Amino acid sequence: MLIRPPAPPDLRASDITPESLYLTRREWLAAAGLTVGAIAGAGALLPRRAAAQQALGTPYGLQADDKPTPWADVTGYNNFYEFGTGKDDPAVEAKGFRPRPWSVKVDGLVKKPGDYALEDFLKGSRVEDRIYRHRCVEAWSMVIPWRGIMLADVLKRAEPAAGAKYVEFTTLYDPSRMPGQRSPVLRWPYTEGLRLDEAMHPLTLLATGVYGRDLPNQNGAPLRLVVPWKYGFKGIKSIVRIRLTDRQPATAWNTSAPDEYGFYCNVNPTVDHPRWSQAKERRIGEFLRRPTLMFNGYAGQVASLYAGMDLRRNY
Amino acid sequence: MTLARLRERARAIQRPWWWRWAVWTAVIAPGAAVLAALLSDLLAGTRWLGSNPVKEGELVLGELTIKYLAATLAVTPVRRVLGWNWVQKDRRVFGVTAFCYGMAHFLWYALLDIQLDLGELAGDLTKRTYIIVGFAALLVMVPLVVTSTAASIARLKKRWVPLHRLTYLVPVLGVTHWWMSVKADVTEPLIFTATFAGLLGWRWWHARRDNSLHVPTPSARPGPA
């Protein structure tokens, strides 16, 4: 059942796309060689602004005060331990990383396994722009305009076999290109997992870009997972393998600290992290904290996945 | 021997004229810089403290506390090894500075980070072990700072020294707090664990050596019969 969540009707266009975004978009247009510099006059600006807005996509569950986090923060404040444990390490350490050529393997309990070049892997899926809230387990949050494809598309094409219940994702393991993997802060390669129904959910994205551009390396180029109702670390980066399985896969943070990070990791203001409360969050760029929303504000779309489950035990 | 000669040379070094300025700059500048950076980031939109200035400033103040604790505990070894008796005066300044940064770290957390959410504060101070340990470190420093004045030293006489041995407890609590607060990368807590192990180990080794040099005869020892 694929129901696209509708945009709330009370959202004004001006709430979604601030001036700085138009500028970003225009820079990108210019870089792409699409500048219409020859066309003079203010009239030319209007269609470009409209196009920019369209590129940023429909606001999936956005609220009026969810303003996209500036590019500098989205690409400069990252947890990507493969490139260092400091928040500003990945932007520096991943500079020379080359995300192409890239291949992705889809295997395990599927009828049509395969090993694809990234271009072939993406072929046939509709690329969409979606603005999602992003809530880190460390109690900070952002609003990010992602670009990507629905994971469900990929899985359906691979045709899950009867016994498939979970999806396991694996990040590239190559310490020569990912210097953080030379120290054992986590068990490498990073792995993550979703239940098959979570993976098939229409909100679940495989992102290939942010702000209408290709993913910067520090954001998980060239392909990363985005599950907006879960804590950010579920969004595994630089994916090389997607494996369907009948058993709950081991995940990096659960392996590292099982008492602090479970398998589900749904955003839940009522279940504390053992070391801090999850009731509030600091939106990057804001001083006052705001209350954290159940399932990060996507309860209407995803709460039914967890009906009858004790979310305190299945954290 | 070169080592002996180096030591001799070091012993000849007198307190330079700029020393007190260097100490006061080292004490005040980092705190002033953090505060200025925060204000600039919040009010003028700069990025001195990165994308999350409140969190970053909090971490910087915590690290400064640990660093000044290390400086405090380094004074005596430096004095004994290099013969720089003139650094002894700075020990109190470093100790009080460590307390001030610890207090600033706590106030920053309470006022700016959790923004005086009293429920959360109460929860943190009762449920979260690493916060309890960090708060204990701060509390232990209170009597030390209060009795750091010349008047207190005169008034407490012989009791001042045993009281101020509590200083050794502070880095143990402080570094434990740091270890427990870290998600995965323990490099920095490890470095300071090694530093404090060295500073406290040196004292232990010295005390043992001194004891073995002049063993007090039991009869000479004062105390209850």
**Type of residue at A192:** E
Please list the residue range(s) of chain A that carry CATH number 3.90.420.10: 58-306
Tokens representing residue A201 in the block = 């959910």
Q: Who wins on pLDDT, A240 or B182?
A: A240
Position B139 in a domain: yes
Chain A touched by B164 (CB under 8 Å): no
> For B51-76, how does the pLDDT look when each residue is reduced to its tens digit (9 = 90+)?
999 999 999 999 999 999 999 999 99
CB–CB contact B185 A81 (8 Å) = yes
Full-model pTM = 0.84
> Which residue does chain A place closest to B130, by CA atoms?
A275
Q: Which residues contact A15 (CB under 8 A, 6 or more apart)?
A: A62, A64, A65, A66, A67
Strands A140-150 and A280-283: parallel
Q: How far apart are the first and last CA of chain A?
A: 26
Q: How confident is the model over A159-173, as a mean pLDDT?
A: 97
Which residue of B50, B54, B128 is in closest CB contact with A282?
B54
Overall number of domains in chain B: 1
Contact across the interface for A256 and B128, Cβ inside 8 Å: no
Asked if residue B204 is part of any domain, the answer here is yes
CB contact under 8 Å between A87 and B51, yes or no, is yes
Q: Shortest CB distance from B184 goes to which of A81, A88, A274? A: A81
Residue A141: CB atoms within 10 A of its CB come to 25
User: Does residue B166 form part of some domain?
Assistant: yes
B46 has a chain A CB within 8 A of its CB: no
Residue B110 belongs to what domain range? 52-210
How big is the A-B interface in CB pairs under 8 Å?
52
| Other C-beta atoms lying within 10 Å of the C-beta of residue A165 | 14
Side-chain half-sphere CA neighbours of A117 within 13 A = 4
Question: Does residue A196 have a pLDDT over 60?
Answer: yes
What digits encode the pLDDT tens for the residues B88-133? 999 999 999 999 999 999 999 999 999 999 999 999 999 999 999 9
- Element housing A242 (H / E): strand A239-245
The answer to whether the peptide bond before residue A101 is cis (omega within 30 degrees of 0) is yes
Residue A56, CB-side half-sphere exposure with 13 Å CA sphere: 31
The A residues from 200 to 239 touching B (CB cutoff 8 Å) are none
Which pLDDT value is given to residue B128?
A: 96
Mean pLDDT of chain A: 87
Mutate to test the interface with A, among B40, B52, B181 (most CBs of A within 10 A): B52
- Does residue B35 sit within a domain? no
What does the alpha-carbon distance between residue A184 and residue A233 come to, in Å, rounded to a whole number? 18
Over residues A17-70, the pLDDT tens digits come to 444 444 454 444 444 443 333 333 344 444 444 444 444 445 677 887 899 999
The superfamily CATH assigns to domain A58-306 is Oxidoreductase, molybdopterin-binding domain (3.90.420.10)
Task: Write the DSSP string, B92-144.
Answer: HHHHHHHHHHHHHHHHIIIIIISTT-HHHHHHHHHH-HHHHHHHHHHHHHHHH
Per-residue pLDDT, A47: 43
Which residues share a beta bridge with B161?
none
Contact B51 A287 (CB under 8 A): no
CA dist A38 and A21 (Å) reads: 23
- Indicate whether B184 pLDDT > 70: yes
> Is residue A83 very low, low, confident or very high in pLDDT (cuts 50, 70, 90)?
very high
Look at residue A146 in the predicted model and tell me its pLDDT.
Answer: 97
Of residues A37 and A141, more confidence is placed in A141
Residue B42 contacts by C-beta under 8 Å, 6 or more apart in sequence?
A: A287, B53
At residue A3, the pLDDT reads: 53
pLDDT value at residue A64: 79
Residue partners of A228: CB distance under 8 A and separation at least 6:
A60, A61, A132, A133, A134, A203, A296, A298
pLDDT per residue as tens digits for the range B187-202: 999 999 999 999 999 9
Confidence label for B149 from pLDDT (cuts 50, 70 and 90): very high
Sheet holding A114-117, edge to edge: A114-117, A103-108, A239-245, A166-171, A191-195
A7 pLDDT exceeds 90? no
In the prediction, which pLDDT does B129 show?
Answer: 96
pLDDT at A25: 47
Q: ipTM score of the complex?
A: 0.86
Q: Domain for residue B140, yes or no?
A: yes
